[in-house]
Structure 1
Amino acid sequence: MERVEITDDIIRLGQFLKLAGLAESGAQARELITDGEVSVNGEVDTRRGRQLHKGDVVTVDAPAGQFSAEVG
């Protein structure tokens, strides 16, 4: 699992997906979240504006497999 450093104390889920390379664009991030393919700390979350804190683990279930990144 990759650890992705952020400069502030929090980051929104949609922004983090792009920063971590788990989504190629904001539109793709929105689609992944809306389709229920994104989980935070093991629980599916459909809120693009969900605030993430350091230590949170984001996982995407994509057709190519499961990818995860930790907020650092």
Structure 2
Amino acid sequence: MPRYDYRCRACGTNFEVSRPMSESSAPASCPDGHDDTVKLLSTIAVTGGSRAAAPAPQPSGGGCCGGGCCG
């Protein structure tokens, strides 16, 4: 289940709420009971071993569309 970060405008507390994506825009109360909260933008660190494959080399045909259709 995704976690969303919030900040309470009343007390300045940062907190997380786990909820389904279908409820991602629903308001959240801070742990101290204040309702004046704002949803923060989260950054996701993505690391790993997979790499995107390099694009295949394009054949050189000399002409428009690479097929030699221009004389």
Say yes or no: TM over 0.5.
no
Q: Which has the higher helix share?
A: 1
TM-score normalised per structure 2: 0.29
TM-score normalised per structure 1: 0.28
Bigger RCO (CA 8 Å, 6+ sep): 1
Larger Rg: 2
